């Protein structure tokens, strides 16, 4: 009985959306083409992503702009950039596409375990490389028809993708004070100073300020949030012996005995257990930060997003 009622409601809502689009003489395909071009910035790239011909994509965009009585992109050669009208339309179009996709999945089978669809996640490096693999594994074991697309980049790049609606969820190693997003505190992260067992400072029970200042520091490059926290705490007194772009390379260099580094406990947890790294005790240097989950306020919060948030917070 309840299954029949749910099917009817799904059918009614889905057709209400479609009727609205028909009244405006806008098709779902036109909206999908628009969103794809907004993401790629190029008609040919959008066509490849959607398995359409370039001419079909161009015609769909022209028809949509015709119905909306104005351009939604600024053109510069082959590149297309959202104008003000396009930026207003993008979250609405993305929401309609997400809702119809979700409704179709529910219509096919409204059992919880049959939840399907795509989830686009953006994460900064520590979260993406060390925390998300386990979380994604647990989510996909519970919902085998979900497809996860994970983009790992700098916090700045991930925020840019979130604001452009290229990802559904962002997980970053800093806070975001934009009024465009919902920000949820997620996990506490302790930052630890580590060295190889053979490194001279590893033999000391407690390090002095002089030890810390004169140590051979292995650091991420200037845009690293960890380096920023460390330099702020030390008043700019430390100088890098070696700078690296990659966290894993930094850990390997530290294990090789090249110097000391400041890394997330999540990153060095296994190395501390197998004793390829040791934690240096520095009483005056306590460093921590908080990871956050971000969702754009204009983003439709689908069932998949809700299930991800539940899994992330269990």
1-110 against 188-289: fold identical: no
pTM (predicted TM-score): 0.71
pLDDT of residue 198: 94
Q: Is the backbone of residue 111 left (phi > 0), alpha (psi -120 to 50) or beta? A: beta
CA distances 208 to 14, 197, 257, 281, Å, are 66, 18, 20, 9
pLDDT of residue 172: 95
How is domain 188-289 classified at the CATH fold level?
D-Maltodextrin-Binding Protein; domain 2 (3.40.190)
Q: What DSSP designation does 1 have? A: -
Taking 50 as the pLDDT cut, the residues of the chain under it are 1-14, 111-112
Where are the domains positioned within the chain? Answer: 1-110, 188-289
pLDDT of residue 92: 85
pLDDT of residue 146: 87
State the CATH architecture for 1-110: Orthogonal Bundle (1.10)
pLDDT of residue 21: 57
């Amino acid at each position: 009985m309840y299954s029949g009622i749910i099917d009817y409601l799904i059918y009614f809502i889905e057709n209400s959306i479609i009727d609205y689009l028909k009244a405006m003489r806008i098709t779902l395909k036109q909206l999908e083409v628009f969103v794809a071009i907004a993401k790629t910035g190029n008609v040919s790239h959008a066509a490849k992503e959607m398995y359409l011909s370039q001419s079909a994509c161009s015609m769909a965009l022209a028809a949509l702009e015709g119905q909306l009585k104005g351009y939604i992109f600024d053109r510069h050669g082959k590149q297309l950039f959202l104008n003000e009208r396009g930026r207003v339309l993008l979250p609405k179009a993305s929401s309609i596409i997400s809702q119809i996709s979700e409704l179709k999945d529910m219509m096919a089978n409204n059992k919880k375990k049959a939840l399907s669809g795509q989830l686009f996640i953006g994460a900064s490096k520590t979260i993406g490389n060390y925390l998300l693999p386990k979380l994604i594994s647990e989510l996909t074991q519970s919902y085998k028809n979900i497809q996860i697309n994970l983009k790992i980049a700098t916090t700045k790049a991930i925020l840019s993708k979130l604001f452009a609606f290229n990802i559904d969820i962002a997980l970053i190693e800093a806070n975001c004070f934009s009024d465009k997003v919902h920000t949820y505190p997620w996990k506490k992260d302790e930052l630890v100073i580590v060295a190889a067992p053979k490194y001279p400072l590893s033999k000391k029970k407690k390090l002095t300020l002089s030890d810390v200042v004169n140590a051979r520091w292995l650091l991420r490059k200037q845009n690293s949030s960890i380096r920023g926290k460390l330099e702020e705490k030390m008043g700019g007194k430390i100088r890098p012996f070696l700078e690296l772009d990659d966290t894993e390379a930094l850990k390997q260099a530290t294990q090789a005995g090249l110097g000391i580094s400041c890394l997330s406990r999540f990153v060095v947890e296994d190395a501390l257990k197998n004793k390829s790294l040791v934690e240096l005790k520095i009483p005056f240097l306590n460093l921590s930060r908080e990871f956050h989950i971000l969702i754009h306020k204009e983003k439709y919060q689908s069932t998949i997003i809700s299930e991800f948030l539940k899994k992330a917070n269990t």
